[in-house]
Amino acid sequence: MTKKITFQKLLEMIDNEETELELLMQYLIEDQELSLPFRPYFKPNPKFVDDEGLESGRFLNFFNKRARKKRQKKYRRKIKNGWE
């Protein structure tokens, strides 16, 4: 069962390269209004993230930039080390 976490904890999880995407997705929901094909936008799931005082636009930009960098880094590492 997913437990409620603080927004700060969510940011720490996003920052950690070892955090599995499946775990992060428990705390995020897709923003249908801003998402595009192959470019989803996410926001904290209010059921599981205490987002009191959160400015969603700033969060979306922050999360999406971080997530993109994380994916790019993982992809580059895979290319460098060869496909498994």
Which amino acid appears at position 16 of this protein?
Answer: N
Looking at residue 27, what is its pLDDT?
93
Residue 11 has pLDDT above 70, yes or no: yes
pLDDT of residue 55: 59
Secondary-structure breakdown of the chain: helix, strand, coil percentages, each rounded to the nearest 5 = 50, 15, 40
Q: What is residue 57's predicted lDDT score, i.e. its pLDDT?
A: 62
Residue identified by tokens 């801003």 is 34
Cα three-residue angle 73-38-5, rounded to 5 degrees: 65
- The reported pTM is 0.58
Task: Report phi then psi at 30, rounded to 5.
Answer: -75, 135
Distance, in Å, from the CA atom of 47 to the CA atom of 78, rounded to the nearest integer, reads 35
Digit-coded pLDDT (tens) for 40-63? 888 888 899 986 655 556 666 777
